Amino acid sequence: MHILLTRPLEDIQELILKFQELGHVVSHMPVIKIEKVNYKSINFSEFSGIIFTSSNAIKHLDTRSIDKNKICFCVGSATEKKARSTGFQNVISTDGNVSNLKELILQNFNHSSGKLLYISGEVITNDLDQDLISNGYDVKRIINYTAKSIENLDEKFIEKLKLKMPEIVYIYSQNSALSFLKLIKNYNLSDFWMDTNLMCISEKTSSILNEIKWK
């Protein structure tokens, strides 16, 4: 099976290897690049727990002054792995999406236990902080990275892709979907996806690509 992955290489290397080990052909077409956003100094002692919905949030956070025994909530194995490699000892993680993470927090952290710090990108698929606040939690959100669209692709890659279109393409965020849509329009690829299955992290993300005809 031919699979197209669209995340930045550093976020997807392990998955590429896993798919290749299973005998799949993997094409890599990153559609966004991650850039750090400067943020105000954080007094981590004010918070009893930290929420990460992306490994990028950990990569771009100065964690030197954080008590690594604080409870840390993550979504996805990549985020959990990054948290543990950074030194966090008390990590609770869920696969799936942010909705699953919300339920995990509700089950494992009482709102009377203290404030939660939510580190995220500029654009988020779900308003996790607002959902938790509506459930009685005290949550502060800090933005420490943003996703920028990639505007140019290698022409040789495009020609090769046209000759063997993927059976599956994975899109991981609304930012990625918007950038992907712009790229395939700019490179006249809009009509090439009728035999491709679209796999997205959420309905909001997939709806951005509804104008393209998928399998």
The answer on 90 and 51 residing in a single domain is: yes
Are 42 and 79 in a shared domain?
yes
Same domain flag for 90 and 67: yes
Residue 45 lies in a domain: yes
**Residue 180: which CATH number?**
3.40.50.10090
What's the domain range around 41?
35-147
Q: Which of 147, 167, 199 is the last residue of a domain?
A: 147
User: Do 50 and 97 fall within a single domain?
Assistant: yes
Decide: 158 and 190 in contact? Cβ < 8 Å.
Answer: no
Residue 153: both structure tokens together: 């692709």
Output 187-191 pairs: Cβ under 8 A, ≥24 positions apart: 187/153, 187/158, 189/158, 189/161, 189/162
Q: Which helix (H) or strand (E) holds 121?
A: strand 115-121
Do 13 and 114 sit in the same domain of this protein? no
Side by side, the strands of the sheet bearing 139-149 are: 32-36, 139-149, 115-121, 47-52, 71-75, 90-94
Q: Which of 210, 114, 142 is nearest to 171 (CA)?
A: 210
In a domain? residue 213: no
Q: Is 134 found in the same domain as 102?
A: yes
Q: Looking up tokens 């840390």, which residue turns up?
A: 72
The residue from 95, 124, 147 where one domain ends is 147
For the chain, the distance separating the N- and C-terminal CA atoms, rounded to the nearest angstrom, is 15
Q: Averaged over 158-186, what is the pLDDT? A: 95
Q: Is the pLDDT of residue 96 over 80?
A: no
Which of 125, 147, 169 terminates a domain? The answer is 147
What's the pLDDT score for residue 95? Answer: 84
Residues 111 and 72 in one domain: yes
> What is the pTM assigned to this prediction?
0.84
φ and ψ at 50, to 5 degrees?
-130, 140
Residues 98 and 157 in one domain: no
The pLDDT confidence band at residue 60, using thresholds 50, 70 and 90, is very high
Do both 107 and 176 map to the same domain? no
Q: Which residues contact 175 (CB under 8 A, 6 or more apart)?
A: 32, 121, 123, 147, 149
In three-state secondary structure terms, 199 is strand
pLDDT category of residue 212 using cuts at 50, 70 and 90: very high
* Domains identified in the chain, total number: 2
Separation CA 206–CA 94 (nearest Å): 22
User: pLDDT by residue (tens digit) across 105-133?
Assistant: 999 999 999 999 999 999 887 899 999 99
Q: Give the CA angle between residues 209, 33, 58 to the nearest 5°.
A: 110
Tokens representing 53? 């919905």
Q: Are residues 105 and 174 in the same domain?
A: no
My answer on whether 26 and 39 are in the same domain is no
The band of 11, judged by pLDDT with boundaries at 50, 70 and 90, is confident
Please say whether the beta carbons of 119 and 55 come within 8 A.
no
